Amino acid sequence: MNPTMKKTLIASSVALTFGAVNAEASLISFGSNTYSTNNANFTMLAANGGVVGGTNDVVMNWDGNGYTSSSDYIGPGSAANVTANSTHAFFGHSWTAHDIQVFAPGSYSFDVTLGGGNPETGTLNATVNAGQMGMHMLFDWNGNKNIDVFVVANQGAIFGGGLLYSTQTNTAGKFKCDSGFTGTIVKNCLYDGANLGGPAPTKNQVWMLASTDGNADGVMGIPMAPNGPFAGFNANFNANMTATPKVVPVPAAVWLFGSGLIGLVGIARRKKSS
């Protein structure tokens, strides 16, 4: 478990309780660091909990802040504070994630028709509990644009049962975690195939941020909206990220004050010497 992340998540929950947020931007800080990784895990699960696919080379960068209101999402072109991409194709087609926002603890509702470009209908609802983080994004794949995804993540946790996709096989070599398996499916396996750009995850790997069952249906993740290309499927993201201290810009007024002070010192010295 990341001690710094734990402290800042608790502090964020307290701040939300007492209203200590930036109302203008609806943002709250999770601490003094930014975070990044080049080997986050993407695990797609079917409605039955079986693995559909994924990758382990997701590059993610997060500014360390969290949004506090669903209204911060207005569709494509929304303010965003996370970037994510992968070079690994998903079922033969590249995918991208964009307009990614991290959300602090709270309840959120997203109108999936705001995305446009795909036939999703209804709303995507999610609750982020204290000590958790939420992440909303738009997902593009095979010509399908702006598919809504929401992930609720626990900190310092194992994904599902920590089971590995490639090790859960029957005697015929068929993956028990595969959504197409004809026997009893082992749910919530971690995708560990096609290792590109980073080490493959291990069975009981603890993630700094681990996707969890966001709607209590027994399957990790939250089902995507009806009528979309992945209706009922659950996209999950897990990540161990490196912390980097934020670079705090110095306001222009401080620079002006400093240069003015230096000027006054110079004048004083000249008067003294004369």
Q: In this predicted model, what pLDDT tens digit does every residue of 73-105 receive, in sequence order?
A: 999 999 999 999 998 889 889 999 999 999 999
The four Cα atoms 54, 57, 59, 60 give a dihedral, to 10 degrees, of: 50
Side-chain half-sphere of 252: how many Cα atoms within 13 Å? 0
Question: Among all chains, which residue has been given the structure tokens 């027994």?
Answer: 218
Q: In the predicted model, what is the mean pLDDT of the chain?
A: 85
Question: What's the pLDDT at 16?
Answer: 40
Position 12 confidence tier, pLDDT thresholds 50, 70, 90? very low
Closest C-alpha to 29, from 74, 73, 81, 78: 81
Q: How many whole angstroms separate alpha carbon 14 and alpha carbon 2?
A: 19
Q: How many whole angstroms separate alpha carbon 151 and alpha carbon 236?
A: 6
Q: In this predicted model, what pLDDT tens digit does every residue of 217-250 receive, in sequence order?
A: 999 999 999 999 999 999 999 999 999 998 866 6
Q: What integer is the mean pLDDT of 160-187?
A: 88
Beta bridge partner(s), residue 65: 29
* Between 228 and 23, residue with greater pLDDT: 228
Taking 50 as the threshold, does the pLDDT of residue 154 lie above it?
A: yes
Taking 60 as the threshold, does the pLDDT of residue 268 lie above it?
A: no
192 and 201 in contact (C-beta within 8 Å)?
Answer: yes
Question: What's the pLDDT at 41?
Answer: 95
Question: What's the pLDDT at 260?
Answer: 58
Q: How many whole angstroms separate alpha carbon 213 and alpha carbon 119?
A: 25
